[in-house]
Amino acid sequence: MNRGGIYVHVPFCRRKCPYCDFYSVTDLGRTPAFLDGLEREVRLTRAGRRVFDSIYLGGGTPSLLAPAEVARILAALFAHLRFEAPVEITLEANPGTLGPQALAGFRAAGVNRLNIGVQSFRDETLARLGRIHSAAEARRALAQARSAGFGNLGIDLMYGLPGQGLAEWRRELAAAVRFGPEHIACYMLTLEPGTPLSDAHRDGRFHPAAEGRVAQLFLATVEFLTGHGYRHYEVSNFARAEAYLSRHNGTYWSYRPYVGFGPAAHSFLPPRRFWNHRSLERYLADLAADKLPRAGQEKLTPAQQMTEFIMLGLRTTEGVGLAEFQRRFGVDFNERFGAAAAELESRRLLTLRNGRCAATPRGMLCLNSVTAALT
Ligand code: SF4
């Protein structure tokens, strides 16, 4: 299966969170111009005969859009690109922007997977993260999403906050599980260069959780969620059943093509990768001149592709399929990497079985060094 994914970057947030380095602006008055530009970008894009089966509206905060605006984006995509039904259509939502009407509207517009950025069920933690919503609003949004008919609901949580202990984190996980979401993603708080949080760390005003504690929290996450019936299928991602694995994110991990629209969006049509301007104004200026808003592109060498394929595959619990590796690159994985893989297996960081090479949970904690040792 070589179906691709479509990503749409909606570059608006009501307020910037201090830890986040995703591109977004807070001038929501630019929304109509963005939608016009996006439509033009979709029209100008030539994806050839490529077929897609997922659409992901991310950002930014796509749930700041009105349902009619989401419907307009989807209509443009369906008018100009080829899709194979059923298409997974995900909308990332911030609990501070949702209400029964908006949720019903998104559902009616065709969104069939809602991913809610809860981050925490504790007000103190939410305030620390600079989120615009409270824990009560997050709970309300989850209940309302169910009432609006969303049968594929995801919750995002964040861990690795200063002073966060195992008991507190397990309470967060338990709170999420109580809603019975089909999908749970748990992201480690990372210090992205140039963000206010990273500046605070540099100036000694913010002390992230120690590496050892973060490792404990990750392993506790795997134990807790698998113990509650969730399948761990990617470093940060858990699903209640096969049907609820994120198809769109699976596009990235299985090295399939994807096309991104919107400022700062990236695309990958193997072996070419290209990306848009990380500036709404430059993005719109190029489109006003009937030009695709590309900021750069690169063509990956076969060696780069092999490394990326392995690195992305090891993010998933299924790991890298050795037969697929041979088919794609004409290289025998065992011949090329067998000795290094056996050494990593002896250190319990990898497993090699049933024609697949996969990272163990401990290996997932140090994926960069595992990939470097392997390739
Ligand atoms: S975390 Fe989400 S809401 Fe906060 S600034 Fe980043 S994209 Fe916006």
User: Where in the chain are the domains?
Assistant: 4-253, 302-374
Q: What average pLDDT is seen over the chain?
A: 96
Is the beta carbon of 22 within 6 A of some atom in ligand 1? yes
The residue whose CB lies within 8 Å of the most ligand 1 atoms, and thus the one to mutate among 27, 61, 98, 118, is: 61
Is the beta carbon of 24 within 6 A of some atom in ligand 1? yes
Over the stretch 77-115, which tens digit does the pLDDT of each residue have?
999 999 999 999 999 999 999 999 999 999 999 999 999
Is the beta carbon of 187 within 6 A of some atom in ligand 1? no
How many residues does the structure list for the chain? 375
The residue whose CB lies within 8 Å of the most ligand 1 atoms, and thus the one to mutate among 22, 195, 198, is: 22
Nearest CA to ligand 1 atom 4: 17
Quick one: 113 exposed, middle or buried, by C-beta within 10 A (0-12, 13-18, 19+)? Answer: buried
- CA angle 243-8-250, nearest 5°? 30
CA–CA distance, 50 with 207 (Å, rounded to integer) = 47
CA–CA distance, 275 with 254 (Å, rounded to integer) = 20
pLDDT at 211 over 70: yes
For residue 92, the ligand 1 atom closest to its alpha carbon is: 2
Fold that domain 302-374 belongs to in CATH: Arc Repressor Mutant, subunit A (1.10.10)
pLDDT of amino acid 49:
85
pLDDT at 1 over 80: no
Over the stretch 107-155, which tens digit does the pLDDT of each residue have?
999 999 999 999 999 999 999 999 999 999 999 999 999 999 999 999 9
Is the beta carbon of 16 within 6 A of some atom in ligand 1? yes
In the three-class reduction of DSSP (H, G, I as helix; E, B as strand; rest coil), residue 48 is classed as coil
pLDDT at 47 over 80: no
Residue 185 CA to ligand 1 center (angstroms) comes to 16
Confidence grade of residue 159 (pLDDT, cut at 50, 70, 90): very high
Is the beta carbon of 115 within 6 A of some atom in ligand 1? no
Which residues, in sequence order, are CB contacts of 131 under 8 Å at separation 6+? 17, 94, 96, 119, 120
Residue 369 CA to ligand 1 center (angstroms) comes to 29
For residue 15, the ligand 1 atom closest to its alpha carbon is: 5
Is the beta carbon of 58 within 6 A of some atom in ligand 1? no
pLDDT at 353 over 70: yes
CA–CA distance, 157 with 177 (Å, rounded to integer) = 11
Nearest CA to ligand 1 atom 7: 60
Residue 322 CA to ligand 1 center (angstroms) comes to 38
Residue 43 CA to ligand 1 center (angstroms) comes to 28
The residue whose CB lies within 8 Å of the most ligand 1 atoms, and thus the one to mutate among 13, 21, 91, is: 13
pLDDT at 368 over 80: yes
**8 A C-beta contact, residue 219 and residue 174:** no
CA–CA distance, 51 with 336 (Å, rounded to integer) = 33
Confidence grade of residue 28 (pLDDT, cut at 50, 70, 90): very high
Fold that domain 4-253 belongs to in CATH: TIM Barrel (3.20.20)
- The b-or-e profile of 312-338 (16+ CB within 10 A means b, else e) is bbbbbbebbbbebbeeeeeeebbeebe
Residues linked to residue 157 through DSSP beta bridges, in sequence order:
119, 186
**Mean per-residue pLDDT for 159-163?**
91
